[in-house]
Amino acid sequence: MLVTLVDDSIPFNGMTPAYQPLGGAEKAFASLPAALARTGHVVRVINRTPNAMGYENVSWVDWEGRRPPITEVLIAFRKPRLLEFIRATTARILWLTGPAEYLDKPQVTDMLQRTEARLVFLGRTHQETYTGTGESSTRNISPGIREEYREADEMNPSDPPIAIVTTHPKHGLEWLLNIWTTQVRAKVPNAELHIYSAAFKQADAGETLSDELNEIYRKVIAAEQSGILIKAPAGDRDMSQAYRCARVHLYPGSDKEMYCSTLAESQAVGVPAVARPMGAVKERVIGDKSAFLTDSESDFANHAIRMLSDDDEFKSASIVARRHGRSRSWDTTASEFETLFR
């Protein structure tokens, strides 16, 4: 079948995730087309690709090019208006990534009814943000894990021990900083906390942040003597290697996170996690085995300390994380998408 995926956000294509940092949503959109092509479909992507190209048997077409008149399957990414990007099609799918309250707007509801679109959510937590009717038109399909993580070499934790944090600074980083500086470092004085943040790395280079982010950034800088380092997010090839060196992924989280992509990726490499049970965290880990979930500051600190200092506890959790995190490939995700139009 001829499958067309459409997105009008930022410039990227199927090659981008391996070499450049991408948000979890964009990375998912970059990964599904090749998996669909491997099942035998003719796949093209229309987005703001930096270069029109063929990659992994997928045609990446520039957004400014001529709009095709027909496709058999149209997968619109996030924005309902893209469901009518191509008029002639037999199946329309709206692939959602963020909280779905905006789908309740009358104009959006009309669009969904008119196009008879199937809605694809990232999981149970995500679907619960949708209050519309018609269960037969919805489906939960979790993204796969890219091979850079599923095929990463065995863990090789660094000495001194490293904890990583990858969530947006507004998603609980101040809460985590307090735990790290007052509790964790007191018990593991040589431990390092590596904060992966593009915004903070830009601030290091002299760029201006918003007032809210700048306040958090200043607190990070003030706590640097507690083993805190700001790191630049990287493409999947380099991030998978960074995860191999870590002892624990500290994930304060947010109720707005509908998938938690970096948590899923670090689990696949074998990094145990300590997280607050917010958003979709529970869907990405095995509680009390591959990760430890708590809202308590003292419990969060104690779990982090154990992962950083107890080799046996770390190894046990790491084995479970690695096995669980590698269980879902993009080929599996593609086969589930196929059920919507086969």
In the chain, where are the structural domains located?
A: 2-145+329-338, 148-325
Which two structure tokens, joined as six digits, stand for 88?
């002639």
Q: How many Å apart are CA 253 and CA 279, to the nearest integer?
A: 7
Q: How many Å apart are CA 241 and CA 194, to the nearest integer?
A: 14
Q: Which residues make Cβ contacts (< 8 Å) with residue 46, sequence separation at least 6? A: 4, 5, 6, 7, 61, 62, 63, 65, 67, 68, 85
Tens of pLDDT along the chain (342 residues) come to 999 999 999 999 999 999 999 999 999 999 999 999 999 999 999 999 999 999 999 999 999 988 999 999 999 999 999 999 999 999 999 999 999 999 999 999 999 999 999 999 999 999 999 998 755 589 999 999 999 999 999 999 999 999 999 999 999 999 999 999 999 999 999 999 999 999 999 999 999 999 999 999 999 999 999 999 999 999 999 999 999 999 999 999 999 999 999 999 999 999 999 999 999 999 999 999 999 999 999 999 999 999 999 999 999 999 999 999 999 999 999 999 999 998
Same-fold call for 2-145+329-338 versus 148-325: yes
Q: How many Å apart are CA 55 and CA 24, to the nearest integer?
A: 20
Q: How many Å apart are CA 274 and CA 303, to the nearest integer?
A: 7
Give the CATH number of domain 148-325; options: 2.40.440.10, 3.40.50.2300, 3.40.50.2000, 1.20.950.20.
3.40.50.2000
Q: Which fold has domain 2-145+329-338?
A: Rossmann fold (3.40.50)
Angle between helices 311-325 and 261-269 (to 10 degrees): 110
